[in-house]
Amino acid sequence: MSNQSINELGSLCLMTGNANPELAHKIAAHIGVKIFDTFVGRFNNGETQVMISDSIRGKDIFIVQPTSQPVNDNLMDLLIMADACKRASAHSITAIVPYYAYARQDRKTRGREPISAKLVANLMVAAGMTRVLTVDLHAGQIQGFFDIPVDHLKAAPVLADYFRKQDFGDDLVVVSPDLGGVTRARELADYLKAPIAIIEKRRPRPGEAEVMSIIGDVNGKVALMVDDIVDTAGSLCEGAKALKKLGSKKVIAACTHAVLSNNAVKKIDDSVMEQLVITDTIALPPEKYSPKITVLSMAEAIGDVILNIQSHRSVSLLFK
């Protein structure tokens, strides 16, 4: 490593909140730094308490904190950590937010609704963040909600590396669970050199999905459904059932962000899906473990982006 690279890493401080410390430690191991000693806890009245052990004056801070459940607590922790770093004269503050909460509230679909994704972006900038790194935003246009640089990392290469090793041959078809996810499905299909199919569905109520039809050939195929978020798992389970009815010999699924709210894991266990592959953008608690769920790590991909940011090299080359 050159003296310049050593100096650049010397000014890098990697911190973690409480949302996903395991991911932060994996990133630290990959890039060869230690997690900076920072306490993030609660005062007796429930307010967030942040204490940074040593001077960070002039340092480049990277805070790992997905805004997963409990969403508002983790978001507030991130904002207060950034404010503490700003007031301690940090040179730069990059928020590593693998899972960006409120991303599904990116526009008004009816009268008198908030655009919460924009509000969260405003709060991050106001807290002092100078850059944001995130993974698979639900809506890509959220990048434009920020007045600071946003690095939008994709999980598709990590997922594709895993599925290439499964040796599905010519039987694989990548399936988008709805019309809005076609671009995401096409991206993974291009990596895997596979055709795509599309599930056309409607949502009679929030959190519920009803399959109307399937566009494409899935008969006799291994159907790989791909989505950015698995929340209640209703869409995936209904989609898997429809694919089986139309002759798919095997149904598997891949999702970047495993929210897995309510009884989602039970739905997956009881479904015709044989496997769900997720990433560690959201920590998977022990009570949500399942023999059907496989977790892949985004640590190396995120770590490489951090190194390129810190050494002022192109980040977009990594996304290709």
68 and 176 belong to one structural domain: no
Which residue range(s) make up the domain with 108? 3-154+299-319
Considering its fold, how many domains does the chain have in total?
2
Spatial distance between the Cα atoms of 188 and 191, rounded to a whole number of angstroms: 5
Give 194's pLDDT tier (boundaries 50, 70, 90): very high
18 and 149 belong to one structural domain: yes
pTM, full prediction: 0.93
Pick the closest to residue 50 from 73, 82, 25, 22 (CA basis): 82
Spatial distance between the Cα atoms of 259 and 34, rounded to a whole number of angstroms: 28
Parallel, antiparallel or unpaired: strands 92-97 and 131-135: parallel
pLDDT mean across residues, the chain:
93
108 and 168 belong to one structural domain: no
Query: Region 183-190: what's the mean pLDDT?
Result: 96
Give 318's pLDDT tier (boundaries 50, 70, 90): confident
Summarised one tens digit per residue, pLDDT across range 267-293 is 999 999 999 999 999 999 999 999 999
187 HSE (CA, 13 A, CB side): 16
Of the given ranges (63-72, 86-95, 142-151, 238-247), which has the lowest mean pLDDT? 238-247
> What is the CB neighbour count within 10 angstroms for residue 150?
21
- Comparing 210 with 130, which gets the higher pLDDT? 130
8 and 143 belong to one structural domain: yes
Return the structure tokens found at 231. 């929340």
The pLDDT value recorded for residue 200 is: 87
- Comparing 32 with 167, which gets the higher pLDDT? 32
Return the structure tokens found at 35. 């997690």
Tell me the backbone φ, ψ of residue 20, rounded to 5 degrees: -155, 65
Q: Is the pLDDT of residue 240 over 70?
A: yes
Pick the closest to residue 279 from 62, 61, 20, 34 (CA basis): 20
| Candidates 201, 221, 250, 267; catalytic one | 201
DSSP code per residue over 261-299: -TTHHHHHHHSS--EEEEETTS---GGG--TTEEEE--H
> Are the C-beta atoms of 172 and 193 separated by less than 8 Å?
no
> Are the C-beta atoms of 246 and 272 separated by less than 8 Å?
no
Q: Is the pLDDT of residue 261 over 60?
A: yes
The pLDDT value recorded for residue 3 is: 42
143 and 176 belong to one structural domain: no
The pLDDT value recorded for residue 235 is: 87
How large is the angle between the packed helices 21-31 and 299-310, nearest 10 degrees?
60
- Comparing 206 with 28, which gets the higher pLDDT? 28
The pLDDT value recorded for residue 96 is: 98
Q: Is 34 a catalytic residue?
A: no
**Which residues touch 33 (CB under 8 Å, ≥6 apart)?**
9, 12, 14
138 and 166 belong to one structural domain: no
Q: Is the pLDDT of residue 298 over 80?
A: yes
Plot region of 46 (φ>0 → left; ψ -120 to 50 → alpha; else → beta): left
68 and 202 belong to one structural domain: no
70 and 40 belong to one structural domain: yes
Give 10's pLDDT tier (boundaries 50, 70, 90): confident
Q: Residue 50's domain is classified under what CATH number?
A: 3.40.50.2020
160 and 262 belong to one structural domain: yes
The pLDDT value recorded for residue 316 is: 81
Q: Is the pLDDT of residue 208 over 70?
A: no
The pLDDT value recorded for residue 46 is: 96
Query: Region 179-187: what's the mean pLDDT?
Result: 93
40 and 93 belong to one structural domain: yes
274 and 307 belong to one structural domain: no
Summarised one tens digit per residue, pLDDT across range 63-96 is 999 999 999 999 999 999 999 999 999 999 999 9
124 and 169 belong to one structural domain: no
